[in-house]
Amino acid sequence: MFMARLPFFHATIWTALAVLISVSFFPTTTLAAPPTVVASIKPIQALVKMVMGPIGTPDLIVPATASPHVFSLKPSQAKKLEQADVVFWIGPTLETTLEGPLDKLAKNARVISLLNIPELSLINRTDTDGHEHTDDKAHNEAIDPHIWLSPTNAKVMLAHIEQTLIAVDPPNAPEYAANAKKAKRRISILINKTNKFTEHMHDKPYLVQHDGFGYLAQAFGFQEAGFIQTHPGREPGAKHISQLIETIKARNVKCLFHEPQFTPKLAKRLGQEHGLSLREIDPMGTDLSLSDTTYVRIIQGIVLTMQSCLDPHLPGDGKEAHEQDPK
């Protein structure tokens, strides 16, 4: 009887101790103040959040509704840069208009350009599409900067974010390490599941609105046949449009994916005139709340929408299949 009461006694002591610690010591002595962390775009904010976990929440500069290619900084966003200890961004070929403000405002911050991580697997556009993007401010370099759409690159970025946060905030190192490990495992599961889910989508060509989805196509073996905008945020010239129409006919393209960050006017016209099904895919996760699952939900959201057009009979989320199967 005495033995049986011991665990309860222990539990009571530990509860009392925990309350005592959390009330009187936790805020001042045990927990180090987390660094002020800022991310340029929402997918990067989502990756940083995975590593920070309950320690803190990174601030966002470019709202997810805007395209990072054609973004202008407001005073409130400038203030976030001034107050930051760490800033994570992709680099000047993506968030072009952030380069100047980062130089001027983020003087006290450790500014990390994720595109410079040597371990990343990068797409050189001169190799993949046969022509160079030399005449455009946003895409004036051959390296495709939309690196977060490769989940394998996302894992590389997680490791770099983890190392950076540990260097800035050593007392929380064990937390950052544990969170990053969990995050990488989560993304490995995402990769495996998506590979299985997309098996029947490999031979179905499609168009996208701007040249931002090359990493996704490469990661899962999709057939991206082309893109509408040669310059992000601007409608293309007549020559490019006629080339697209050729591609639609020659490759029997049935699906066109546009993005909430750009107007779908031309996409809709092409869709109507050439019998394409239109779907909206969002590389920024505009409608998603910020948590440690946001990144995974961004990729899942894109792939599920693509599947609903490219392979609607695949029992996946099943919506389209259910609509058509009852007869």
| Binding interface with Zn ion (CB under 5 A) | 212
User: Which residues lie below 8 Å from residue 116, measured CB to CB, with a gap of 6+?
Assistant: 91
CA distances to 60, 90, 249 from 41, rounded to whole Å, are: 6, 8, 36
In which region does residue 137 sit, left (phi positive, over 0), alpha (psi from -120 to 50) or beta (all else)?
Answer: alpha
* Min CB(57)–Zn ion separation in Å: 25
Paired strand residues for 190:
none
To the nearest whole angstrom, how small is the minimum distance from the Cβ of residue 223 to Zn ion?
A: 20
Question: What does the block give as tokens for 252?
Answer: 């029997």
Nearer to Zn ion among residue 133 and residue 184 (C-beta): 133
Name which of 68 and 316 has its Cβ closer to Zn ion.
68
Q: Which residue number, 101 or 233, has a Cβ lying nearer to Zn ion? A: 233
Give kind and range of the element (H or E) at residue 209: strand 206-210
Residue 210 Cβ, how far from Zn ion at the closest point, in Å? 5
Contact indicator for 81, 56 with CB cutoff of 8 Å:
no
Q: b/e string for 62-87 if b means 16 or more Cβ within 10 A?
A: bebebbbbbbebeeebeebbeebbbb
Which C-beta is closer to Zn ion: that of 212 or that of 226?
212
Query: Could you tell me the smallest distance in angstroms from the CB atom of residue 128 to Zn ion?
Result: 15
Smallest distance, Å, CB 52 to Zn ion?
26
Which residue sits closest to Zn ion, CB atoms considered?
212
Closest CB to Zn ion among 138 and 166?
138
